[in-house]
Structure 1
């Protein structure tokens, strides 16, 4: 009796663990968001020249968890070795990090503006990079979940200034 009960308990625990890890890999948006932002940063690298910080501005209506945002922040900080903020343009100006009269900004503002998921394995993320008078860029980045990982399959600039 105890053996059967033990086997059932082990089976249930295993099934629950698989369900949790399986759902995390499908729900977590840190990886596709991180890939889309990295793709944008690598586009028009002149905008990155001498950058001392990156500010991340997530649309409040986007699906994302605090752990996703933290993962993105840690990745960008380690990859680009700059300070990471979570400030909008207005907040950057208010904190003195952007001067309206300055033509050479010390950082870039990255925004995730829109996310569309056509199915579990494909999504398009609209992202933008802004450095004020020096320019900005908006792109639609299409990603696909292939071989247990997200990959950028297309990146189309939609606006450049």
Structure 2
């Protein structure tokens, strides 16, 4: 159940990652921006990770899984709602802020599989639980990239 819960909010966050890149031509037209700007909507996920991974890892050690999971879920939910509420052509900066919130949530989520495995599972289950958690997150990214292929090759 614990791995399922983690995979669920990891899934929700992963769907936020590349949603703009899949149909970038539509978003370019809607917001009146170029392709490079839309590409930054996915690149922000990688850039956010770099400065925040060490503070988030420290928080995970000091505050524990529950706090980190709640913060990650709250950030992802808030970022998603910000993006939903900013669906107006003149609110691209607000949309980008929502994407940043979701990317910040990802920093919390990516550090959790090994901690979940070590806290919730026995010594003979740790490696399996950790690999499921990591693979569950990566599978979502693979699914998103596979969905992109038809759009990239036909454009």
Query: Is TM more than 0.5 here?
Result: no
Select the structure with the greater relative contact order (CA < 8 A; seq sep ≥ 6).
Answer: 2
Higher strand share: 1
Higher helix share: 2
Bigger radius of gyration among the two: 1
